[in-house]
Amino acid sequence: MATHREVMAFVATCLLFLIATVSCKRKVTTQLNYMCDVPECKTGVNGSFPNLVYVRAQEESDVLHYAISTIHIPTILVIHTRGDANSKLNVDWEKLIVEDEFTNDSISVSDPKTVVYSYAVVFTKLHEYNDTADAADLNSYPAWNSTERVVRDFDNFEWMEASTVKGEENAFVFNSTMLVNSTNDMFGHDAPRNYTPSLSFTFRVFDEQSRESSLPHLLYNENVTQFDFTLDNFMPSFSMSRFAVELAIISQSQKEDMSIEETKSIDDEYTPGVFRITNLKARPKDQANGAFVQWKPVCYQDSPRSRSVATSVQKYALGDIKNVTSLLKSSLAYAYFSDVLFSDSMNSATTNVSFGLSKDGSYTKTNYTSWTASVGHGNPPIDKVSLLVIGVISAGLGIPVIIIVFGGIFVCIRKQRKKSYRHLQDVSSSYPQNGVST
């Protein structure tokens, strides 16, 4: 039976856990086209809506400001402020969507001195290649090979008005309706034009730590936003089309090498058959104060998601942002950082993520691909063996041990009782019976 001290220790542990859980919870508020005072927010610009979702995630001592937008080019901008609980985002809509180019201070915070850290993830290009060799490798098809590869800049897409996700809090969908300039941006060749929603981003912001309910069940916490990138009936250019997304990550820190690494997990409870996770870290030497992009190397070729329609995701080496300078200048990141974005006080890199595995039928098998990743501040969440698995393993190993131990004890007790019984019989037989001596 547990002692009084053991019971008190258990209660104290539970209380500490509850306190930690409560303290990590953020108060999240969201607003689409926050404080927009120009008519273009309702009517759009040349058929494309200037979507900007402002998310304010407040804790007791700090605030995370998210600006998630498809103005010109899809961008997740995150500004971390500390000290002023009333800090808020300032948006100059006139500069953002009326003027031709972004200018300094289009995006700012009410008190710049409270800014601790800021970063952005910008989606720059959509690559499509004709995988005739079924290699599922973007590098096998050089960008200069215009007959086998099409490169589309994300600022050439039109966007429908953003909408919330039914039944979910703090989740928004951005759908692309068509290509504005439906040409291959690098080579000027004609490309298919899409008139129905066929490319979308779904963003989710969280106020606590948990795990996403749908595959691949990524972990998240109060400092993370997740996105789903989906191609659904996007008209392919080739008979064996595969796609890849190029993204840039920009971090407010001195120049240092970013890293992209794949780590192994010992458990596939949540994503059967997937024992790896990829982390792109902005500040590997001080990641607790840096940004990251995290994903499992798996995407899905149909909806609803299941293991039977899963295929692989390939990561590629980090590159320089020089090749996407013009695209970054049309992003929300530039609206906030301005020319500082290209200075030595910033850390940045680009990378490609391609979808598909050899012999999976390529994108044209289902004309559907969906991929999920997380963007966050601090150390990336780490997959751990859950209490359920620990319980199952403990039961699987413990029950036989318990049976053996108790079985052994039972056998020992039975033997001991038999010995005692025989001893009593021997003793009783040595005494006279019915008062007659032997």
pLDDT digits (tens, 9 = 90+) for 104-144: 678 999 999 999 999 999 999 999 999 999 999 999 998 77
Q: Is residue 121 part of a domain?
A: yes
Split at pLDDT 50, 70, 90, the class of 10 is very low
pLDDT tens digits, 323-347: 999 999 989 999 999 999 998 889 9
> Residue 35: is its pLDDT beyond 70?
yes
Two tokens at 276? 């790896």
Q: Are the C-beta atoms of 345 and 172 separated by less than 8 Å?
A: no
Which residue range is the domain that position 111 belongs to? 25-383
Per-residue pLDDT at 7 exceeds 60:
no
**Do 395 and 258 share a structural domain?**
no
State whether 81 and 114 are in the same domain. Answer: yes
- Residue 175 predicted with pLDDT over 90: yes
214 and 329, same domain (yes or no): yes
Q: How does strand 298-300 pair with strand 276-281? A: unpaired
For residues 331 and 407, membership in a common domain is answered with: no
Is 334 in the same domain as 408? no
Residues whose CB falls within 8 Å of the CB of residue 365, separated by 6 or more in sequence, listed in order = 301
* 251: in domain: yes
pTM, to two decimals: 0.81
Asked if 241 and 100 sit in the same domain, the reply is yes
Q: Give the residue among 278, 147, 300 at the shortest CA–CA distance from 231.
A: 300
Number of domains making up the chain? 2
Q: Are residues 291 and 400 located together in one domain of the fold?
A: no
Q: How high is the pLDDT of residue 437?
A: 47
User: 409 and 301: one domain?
Assistant: no
Residue 401 lies in a domain: yes
Q: Does 406 lie in the same domain as 295? A: no
The answer on 410 and 282 residing in a single domain is no
